[in-house]
Structure 1
Amino acid sequence: MDSQILVGISSCVLGEKVRFDSGHKASAFVNKELSPYLEFVSVCPEVGIGLPVPRPTIRLISDQERVALVETKDASKDYTDAMVDFAHHKVDELSQTNLCGYIVCAKSPSCGMERVKVYGNNHAEKTGVGLYTQVMLERMPWLPVEEDGRLNDPVLKENFITRIFCLYDFYQSMGDEPTRGKIIDFHSRYKLTLMAHHPDSYRELGRLVARIADYDIKEFVQHYRLGLMQAMAHRATRKNNTNVLMHLQGYFKRVLNKQQKAELRKVIDDYRVGLIPLLAPLTLIKHYLNSYPDGYLEQQKYFQPYPEELRLRYGL
């Protein structure tokens, strides 16, 4: 069982000089803010298939039969099969670990997650996926994957980090031998989180857990993991967060005085209309929870889905 939070990453995003021009695309967020919490597994697929540094540029081209990975100035030099073979072998290797996420290099014909240029008929369309990342997405559909550039968006960043820590918590909770009790306990801790991310999935997963006795436990773990991470891929909206906050408000209706109830209502409403960040009502609720303990609420990961030091909820 891995004790570190393993996250795959394109080597150039980590700062390694492996790009075609011997450069890199080091991410300050990754290297300064995330590195204390994660253990990165560095991969450069292009170096992995034996291409040198520096090297000729490569791109995706499309004909009627397939999308191919070729050299930009000499399409006869085709690296498609080599890249796909490398991707399958690397995914086989990574699947033996508890990998909790992957950060890929945007726009790369090997690593890009979306909107990669595909050339054909004398023009390019941003419709492709890097060949390496495409194999990974197909074979590990539960894995949180994000591009380096999209991590500059505070909402996308917060969602991605939440998913990483959620998956890590799931693996840690299951340990070396998953049980029905471990699944039920984990799901109970994530009820409010799932309500915030995707209410429909919250209900679906609840029904699934209620039928856990009908499944082989190993089969169930894989099924639940996929449903969990697909639900978490939906970004928590202000509307859904407000619903969760109002749900939390109900737990204190018998213990708060009139003034405290009014204060909590106002803070929740100020969040609802966008005047204050999510951190404000959560801080107040945690204050009340400290004064009026509740075992169910205290275990909810919604209050702290990742280390507070990452400061990701300040702008949400």
Structure 2
Amino acid sequence: MDKKLKIGISACVIGQQVRFDKGHKKLYFCSDELSQFAEFKPVCPEVGIGLPVPRAAIRQISQGDVIKVSRADGSGDVTDALIHFGRNYALNQCGDLAGFIVCAKSPSCGMERVKVYHQNGKGSESNGVGLFTQQLMALNPLLPIEENGRLNDPVIRENFITRVFTFQHWLDFKSAGLTKHRLLTFHSHYKYLIMSHHIESYKTLGKLLARSDLELEEQANQYIFGLMNALKHHASRKTHTTTLQHLQGYFKKNLSSEKRQELAKEILSFRDGLTPLLVLLALINHHLRDYPNPYLSAQTYLNPHPKELRLRYGY
């Protein structure tokens, strides 16, 4: 993929000083590493609805079954404005986005565990969702969305970036025109990546594409929904081991007995946490160079994202 990804991002996370105190929440992974491969589309919903910088802090306040967003004293209610802004953005500004990175704990942008204060001012519960992000998720269920803080976790980071590159691939695929042959080819490239995340989805998506009773557009819609949900499951040493053992089978007629045993031993060593995943992938790619296999070489599993991002060090 030659063109850059387009990723939506909370403006403070890319370093813009738009927070209530004129601060930011810059995530250096985005500005210093991911920016090599992505063009960011920043947005601050609070500034977007006309709030100034600096400004009084706003919070989510529980009023019975209703959540309102206002200043701590209940004045300056911006609930409807944030919902309207988020809905308009989600419907009209996300068509070319491959992912979105939001600011954790924000009453407008938080994805989960946002503080919701009791109306009487006594205590809070961390069970809210930012009103802007709430609209983003509801109206763009396929769009990979993650919080800045969670992206410091190497497994979560790798999972999110894998989903972003996958969704960009799908957007490019759809823009080039949908045919049954191209849909099957797309899936053939993703089979082992899916297996490494969720074996049940691997089986279900194969059965879906074998059906002849669905219109192609409906089949494609069900497929991408199933694919993106499959990739939300975090790959583990167990699921990687299953996948690596399947890949091992492609070399059984080419490798010597000694080399087959070496590969099998390294896979089990990875399963037991003794060998890094990158060692296995390097070994498989080495065998692929010696014994080319176009089908295996086309597997996204082997290169789901640029090596420069160093994302598979968590395994």
Q: TM-score of the superposition, structure 2-length normalised?
A: 0.96
Match runs of 1:278-289 below 5 Å: 278-289=277-288
Residue matched to 1:277: 276
Indicate yes or no: 2:244 matched with 1:245: yes
Deviates more, 1:12-21 or 1:222-231: 222-231
Q: State the partner residue of 2:204.
A: 204
Question: Could you tell me which residue of structure 1 aligns to residue 115 of structure 2?
Answer: 117
C-alpha distance in structure 1 between counterparts of 2:314 and 2:198, whole Å: 20
CA distance in 2, matches of 1:181, 1:170: 15
State whether residues 104 and 112 of structure 1, in contact with CA within 8 Å, keep that contact through their aligned partners in structure 2. Answer: yes
Equivalent residue number for residue 54 of structure 2 = 54
Match of 2:107, SS state, is: coil
TM superposition shift of 1:22: 0.5
Q: In structure 2, how many angstroms separate the alpha carbons of the residues matched to 1:185 and 1:196?
A: 19
Task: Compare 116-125 and 175-184 and name the one that shifted more.
Answer: 175-184
Partners of 1:205 and 1:123 in 2: CA distance: 46
Contact 2:154 2:313 in 1 (8 A): no
Deviates more, 1:120-129 or 1:53-62: 120-129
Q: Following TM superposition, by how much is the alpha carbon of 1:296 offset from its aligned partner in structure 2, in angstroms?
A: 1.3
User: In structure 2, what is the equivalent of residue 102 of structure 1?
Assistant: 100
Question: In structure 2, what is the Cα distance between the partners aligned to 1:265 and 1:206?
Answer: 27
CA contact (8 A) 2:101 2:146 kept: yes
- Deviations along 1:181-224, one digit per CA (max 9) or x if unpaired, are 1111100100000000011111111111112x433333333322
Match of 1:149 in 2: 149
Mapped to 2, the partners of 1:298 and 1:57 lie a distance apart of 52
The AA in structure 2 aligned to 1:127 is N
The AA in structure 1 aligned to 2:90 is: V
Partner Cα separation in structure 1 for residue 175 and residue 76 of structure 2: 46
Q: Aligned letter for 1:196?
A: S
Shift of 1:289: 1.0
- Following TM superposition, by how much is the alpha carbon of 1:140 offset from its aligned partner in structure 2, in angstroms? 0.9
What is the one-letter code of the residue matched to 1:303?
A: L
Counterpart CA distance in 2 for 1:29 and 1:276 is 26
What CA deviation, in whole Å up to 9, does each residue of 1:114-166 have, x standing for no partner?
11100115110110010100111111111111100111100000000000001
1:6 deviation in Å?
Answer: 1.1
1:286-308 Cα shifts (integer Å, max 9, x gaps): 10111111121011000000111
Q: Normalising by structure 1, what TM-score? A: 0.96
In structure 1, the residue corresponding to 2:117 is in which secondary structure? strand
Task: List per-residue Cα deviations over 1:32-68 (Å, max 9, x = no partner).
Answer: 0000101111010000000000000000011223111
Deviations 1:78-125 (A, max 9, x none): 100000000011011224x22111000000000001111001151101
Which position in structure 2 is the counterpart of 1:14? 14
CA contact (8 A) 2:91 2:139 kept: no
- Equivalent residue for 2:182? 182
2:257 maps to which residue?
258
The CA distance in 2 between the partners of 1:219 and 1:250, in whole Å, is 34
The answer to whether the 8 Å contact 1:58/1:69 transfers is yes
Structure 1 gap ranges (5+): none
Per the alignment, residue 64 of structure 1 pairs with 64
The alpha carbon displacement at 1:3 in A equals 4.6
Alignment RMSD, CA only? 1.3
What is residue 267 of structure 1 aligned with on the other side? 266
Contact 1:142 1:226 in 2 (8 A): yes
In structure 2, C-alpha distance between the alignment counterparts of 1:216 and 1:80, rounded to whole Å: 41
Q: In the TM superposition, what are the counterparts of 1:157-176 in structure 2 within 5 Å?
A: 157-176=157-176
- The 1-side partners of 2:278 and 2:247 are apart by 14
Distance 1:139 1:151, change over 3 A: same
The letter of the residue matching 1:233 is K
Check whether the contact 2:10–2:102 (CA below 8 A) recurs between aligned residues. Answer: yes
Which residue does the alignment assign to 2:220? 221
Corresponding position: 1:27 with 2:41: no
CA–CA separation in structure 2 for the residues paired with 1:229 and 1:75: 39
CA distance in 2, matches of 1:143, 1:194: 17
- Matched residue pairs, number? 312
Aligned-pair CA distance for 1:71: 0.9
Once residues 94 and 248 of structure 1 are traced to their aligned partners in structure 2, the CA distance between those partners, rounded to angstroms, is: 40
CA distance in 2, matches of 1:254, 1:275: 27
CA distance in 2, matches of 1:82, 1:175: 33
Whether contact under 8 Å (1:174, 1:183) holds in the other structure is: no
